[in-house]
């Protein structure tokens, strides 16, 4: 529970090609953050419901919108603008 609440707080950034998946999570805040992120909100089936880019540190609240269940946070600018769009489906696979 504490790890989920802390999220990316206290970090200086994210390693290349890495992100943080928070489940369940339909909204985020940026209080205490040191770097900007992009947030991909998706429903229970992995379908993207909202993409918010370049969320600056100390932004009070960003909601995923109707149906948002989980959030993938990645470093701002890591994904090209057209890489993920509303309606796309994210498929998770274990890479370990």
Spatial CA neighbour of 25 closest among 45, 5, 51, 47: 5
pTM of the model as a whole: 0.86
- 43-59: per-residue pLDDT in tens? 999 999 999 999 999 99
Residue 60: per-residue pLDDT: 92
pLDDT at 57: 94
Q: How far apart are CA 20 and CA 35, in angstroms?
A: 14
Residues of the chain with pLDDT under 50: 1-2
Give the per-residue pLDDT at 82: 86
pLDDT of residue 7: 65
Please, is 78 exposed, middle or buried when counting C-beta atoms within 10 Å of its C-beta (0-12, 13-18, 19+)?
A: middle
β-pairing, 70-75 vs 48-55, is: unpaired
Which two three-digit tokens encode residue 73?
A: 């946070």
């Amino acid at each position: 529970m504490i790890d989920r609440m802390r999220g990316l707080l206290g970090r200086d950034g994210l390693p290349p090609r890495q992100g943080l998946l928070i489940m369940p999570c339909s909204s985020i805040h940026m209080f205490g953050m040191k770097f900007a992120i992009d947030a991909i909100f998706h429903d229970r089936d992995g379908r993207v419901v909202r993409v918010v880019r370049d969320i600056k540190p100390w932004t009070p609240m960003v909601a995923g919108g109707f149906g948002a269940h989980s959030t993938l946070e990645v470093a701002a600018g890591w994904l090209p603008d057209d890489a993920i769009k509303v309606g796309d489906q994210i498929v998770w696979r274990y890479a370990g």
